[in-house]
């Protein structure tokens, strides 16, 4: 093996993609939730499925929880259960959007008691983090307004700031809060954390442990996400990603399925930061949490997750292949298309043989999807768990249907 390949394999072995508990359960749109045979119903089953993804890919060893969807009495026991499967508990995602009280918002609600209730839940999640050993609290707020004049926009900003400050103050040493933004939905006139700039401004104000979380599905069409990534990385405030693919808005489709070039360009920025000569930029890149945020509506859950992890791996492998010296040369010479070609050459490379070699070296199946299909996992869980609606995010009443 050449030293280049050794370096490439080492980088691939360091890659990590966290999978979300809610991606393993049934979920749906507001029109219908389709029950998938064997879809995980409990957090333990979700962890079992995540272990299958880790067993086949080797780069997905942690699972994000959503509270209270995944609420348990004993988080230390849950942590041990995960560890027994070779997993760790990743980011904790509070849920401040599914309570009747949150009609006008949670932490930005005009009602003080509602704000207090939301804050108590966020603090409960900080406590969960302590028990699960999680580094990241992942914050997404559905807060916003539907009509001009419905509420005072600056007051809502102040309430958001106050809540973030309080949560920041409660974080243990070494922990972080990742602040997610979203252009719209469920609020349609104004979302309180509407873009990366708003999230960034709050993070700067509340302190060092606050970082911005970029969810690929939360931007207007045409927004250059890789530029946001480069900017935040350079400012030392890129906390992490929620990977998915969107066609219109927050579709939560499989990452890389519709716009693989965008995913590649994002990874290109991350690799550039990983390889920077500046130690601070390298440290910023090392701290980034790579997470999938997808709800699988019509597709097999575990296979969808495998495909997502593998798409991230391919994008990263291609980004590692960019000839950085040649790129720098072309950029310095003002060679517009030459520079672009350096990038597209890497993007067009078929990295599948390279990844097969890497898997072979690690004792992983060369084709994880095929291995999964042949493993009987899907049939086993279908038999064991049956076909039951609910159990994912946005759960419906569990209605057993015949398998
Ligand atoms: C809603 O848009 C959402 O998809 C956000 O991206 C959150 O991260 C996720 O739900 C889980 O709460
Ligand atoms: Mn998200
Ligand atoms: Mn989303």
Q: What does the pLDDT look like over 270-304, one tens digit per residue? A: 999 999 999 999 999 999 999 999 999 999 999 99
Residue with the larger pLDDT of the pair 250 and 186: 186
- Report domain extents, the chain: 15-320+386-394
**CB of 219 sitting under 6 A from ligand 1:** no
**CB of 180 sitting under 6 A from ligand 1:** yes
Lowest mean pLDDT among 47-61, 303-317, 387-401: 387-401
- What is the pLDDT averaged over residues 259-269? 98
What three-state secondary structure class fits 395? coil
Atom of ligand 1 nearest to the CA of 180: 8
Gap from CA of 118 to ligand 3 centroid (Å): 19
Q: Which residues contact 252 (CB under 8 A, 6 or more apart)?
A: 217, 244, 246, 293, 294, 295, 296, 297
Phi, psi of 276 (to 5 degrees): -65, 150
Gap from CA of 274 to ligand 3 centroid (Å): 27
- What is the pLDDT averaged over residues 34-55? 97
- What is the pLDDT averaged over residues 215-220? 97
Number of DSSP helices (H) and strands (E) in the chain, helices first: 15, 12
Phi, psi of 351 (to 5 degrees): -90, 5
Task: Indicate the Cα dihedral angle 133, 288, 216, 171, nearest 10°.
Answer: 40
Atom of ligand 1 nearest to the CA of 295: 4
Beta bridge partners of 18: 291
Nearest by Cα to 23 from 49, 2, 4, 3 = 49
Q: Kindly tell me if the per-residue pLDDT of 184 is higher than 90.
A: yes
**CB of 182 sitting under 6 A from ligand 1:** yes
What is the CATH architecture of 15-320+386-394?
Alpha-Beta Barrel (3.20)
- What is the pLDDT averaged over residues 87-99? 98
Q: Kindly tell me if the per-residue pLDDT of 151 is higher than 90.
A: yes
Question: Residue written as tokens 């401004």?
Answer: 201
Q: Kindly tell me if the per-residue pLDDT of 397 is higher than 50.
A: no
ipTM score of complex: 0.99
Gap from CA of 140 to ligand 1 centroid (Å): 6
Q: Exposure string (b/e) for 385-394, b if CB count within 10 Å is 16 or more?
A: bbbbbbbbbb
Gap from CA of 285 to ligand 2 centroid (Å): 20
CA atoms within 13 A on the CB side of 98: 10
Q: Kindly tell me if the per-residue pLDDT of 399 is higher than 50.
A: no
**CB of 293 sitting under 6 A from ligand 1:** yes
Gap from CA of 181 to ligand 3 centroid (Å): 9
Confidence tier at 227 by pLDDT (50, 70, 90): very high
Average per-residue pLDDT for the chain: 95
Q: Which two tokens stand for residue 314?
A: 């391919």
What three-state secondary structure class fits 227? helix
For 153-191, the DSSP string reads: HHHHHHHHHHHHHHHHHHPPTT-EEEEE--SSSS-SSEE
Q: Which of 97, 215, 297 has the most ligand 1 atoms within 8 A of CB, as the residue to mutate?
A: 215
Atom of ligand 1 nearest to the CA of 250: 2
Question: Residue written as tokens 């690799």?
Answer: 271
- What is the pLDDT averaged over residues 183-211? 98
Nearest by Cα to 240 from 317, 176, 182, 184 = 176
Task: Indicate the Cα dihedral angle 369, 370, 372, 375, nearest 10°.
Answer: 180
């Amino acid at each position: 093996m050449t030293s280049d390949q050794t370096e490439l394999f080492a980088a691939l072995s360091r890659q990590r993609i966290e999978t979300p508990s809610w991606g393993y359960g049934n979920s749906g749109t507001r029109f219908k939730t389709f029950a998938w045979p064997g879809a995980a119903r409990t957090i333990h089953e979700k962890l079992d499925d995540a272990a299958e993804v880790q067993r086949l890919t080797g780069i997905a060893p942690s699972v994000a929880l959503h509270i209270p969807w995944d609420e348990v009495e004993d988080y230390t026991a849950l942590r041990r259960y995960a560890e027994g499967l070779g997993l760790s508990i990743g980011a904790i995602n509070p849920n401040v959007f599914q309570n009747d009280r949150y009609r006008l918002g949670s932490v930005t609600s005009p009602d003080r008691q509602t704000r207090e209730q939301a804050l108590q839940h966020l603090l409960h999640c900080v406590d969960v983090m302590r028990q699960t050993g999680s580094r990241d609290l992942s914050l997404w707020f559905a807060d916003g307004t539907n009509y001009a004049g419905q509420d005072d926009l600056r007051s809502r900003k102040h309430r958001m700031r106050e809540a973030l400050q309080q949560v920041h103050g409660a974080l243990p040493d070494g922990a972080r809060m990742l602040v997610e933004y979203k252009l719209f939905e469920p609020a349609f006139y104004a979302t309180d954390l509407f873009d990366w700039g708003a999230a960034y401004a709050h993070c700067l104000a509340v302190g060092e442990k606050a970082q911005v979380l970029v969810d690929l599905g939360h931007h207007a069409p045409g927004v250059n996400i890789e530029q946001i990534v480069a900017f935040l990385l350079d400012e030392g405030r890129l906390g992490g990603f929620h990977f998915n693919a969107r066609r219109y808005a927050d579709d939560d489709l499989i990452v890389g399925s519709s716009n693989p070039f965008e995913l590649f360009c994002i990874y290109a920025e991350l690799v550039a930061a990983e390889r920077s000569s500046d130690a601070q930029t390298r440290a910023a890149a090392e701290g980034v949490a790579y997470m999938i945020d997808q709800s699988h509506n019509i597709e097999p859950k575990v296979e969808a997750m495998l495909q997502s992890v593998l798409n991230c791996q391919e994008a990263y492998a291609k980004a590692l292949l960019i000839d950085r010296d040649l790129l720098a040369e072309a950029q310095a010479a003002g060679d517009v298309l030459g520079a672009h070609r350096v990038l597209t050459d890497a993007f067009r490379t078929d990295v599948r043989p390279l990844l097969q070699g890497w898997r072979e070296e690690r004792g992983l199946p060369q084709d994880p999807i095929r291995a999964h299909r042949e493993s009987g996992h899907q049939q086993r869980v279908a038999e064991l768990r049956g076909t039951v609606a609910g159990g994912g995010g946005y759960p419906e009443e569990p209605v057993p249907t015949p398998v």
